[in-house]
Amino acid sequence: MANPNSFPYIVFAGTPDFAAAALHELIQSGYPISLVITQPDRRSGRGLKMVYSPVKTLAIEEGIPFYQPKCLKNSEVETKLKKLNAQFLIVAAYGKIIPSKILTLFNNKCLNIHASLLPRWRGAAPIERAIMADDKETGISIMQMEEGLDTGAIYSLIREKILSNDTAGSLESRLKKTGARAIVKAIELIQNQGLSPEPQSRAGITYASKINRAETSIDWTLPAKQIECLIRALSPKFGAFTFLDKQRIKIWRASVIYRQSAGVPGSVKLVKNMSLAVECGRNALLVEELQLPGRQKVDAKIFASSATSIHGKVLGG
């Protein structure tokens, strides 16, 4: 670690927990944060209360100035950043494109913490897309920012196995810690050893578009494994849903029953110990946790024991 007196001043841009973990690590490592930029407060929950982002909450706790512009493409933002004279801009899941005029203020020292092994899964939802695709590994890329969508040169890649039971939540929990450590290490190597980034590979480029509501609906004609991956990828943020007697239910946890399907896709069977199995296009899915509208999540066996009439019904529609 460098002498604290030589630590560069940093502007940090980020919004969710993933970003807050990196900001916390930078603070704990002694790096002075000149300014935190985060998304404007949003209303959330049944009461639609105004909610601070995790990054803003941490900035307030640490007494760090924060800034919440609606748009970065205005002269006020540029002027504000010029006055700070910070050496690095560190970005993690900020949620908006950083304009080129801002990037040029930091003399090529704009670094992004991205939750994939670039160039695979460029874009907004790399963790969810990796699980949906049944990837066996992902990781963290520390990237030099440029105008393109996650196209910048790479300072470091840190690999992380995707476990067979990983949800987007559990995988993100590990990746945010890895990313936090990786950004501190990258800044140290850039400052002390002149670390230079390497261009991304031109092979294996994929894009992780935002999750849209339509794709959170379960298509029971798909193979059970593909549906199981969807369920894990959408937990805990979105939830994969289906319909039961016109009720929209979410399925939060399930596992594959590897056998030849014998029924109509979406048809429900109560198997031994009141377990709830659903036929798929190939094999079947053992539902383990679900949620009815306006209710708490519940073990599927508990639900099935009080809803034996579900046997033979067809989910979906």
pTM above 0.85, yes or no: yes
In this predicted structure, what is the pLDDT of residue 49? 86
Q: What is the mean pLDDT of each run of 10 residues along the chain (317 residues)?
A: 70 98 98 97 80 97 97 93 96 94 94 98 97 98 94 98 98 98 97 95 96 96 97 97 95 93 88 89 96 94 87 89
Domains of the chain: 4-208 (3.40.50.170), 213-310 (3.10.25.10)
Q: What is the 3-state secondary structure (H, E, C) of 236-292?
A: CCCCEEEEECCEEEEEEEEEEECCCCCCCCCEEEEEHHHEEEEECCECEEEEEEEEC
Nearest residue to 84 (alpha-carbon basis) of 16, 148, 143, 10: 10
CA 215 – CA 65 distance, rounded (Å) = 39
Nearest residue to 142 (alpha-carbon basis) of 222, 100, 200: 200
Rg (CA), the chain: 23
In this predicted structure, what is the pLDDT of residue 221? 96
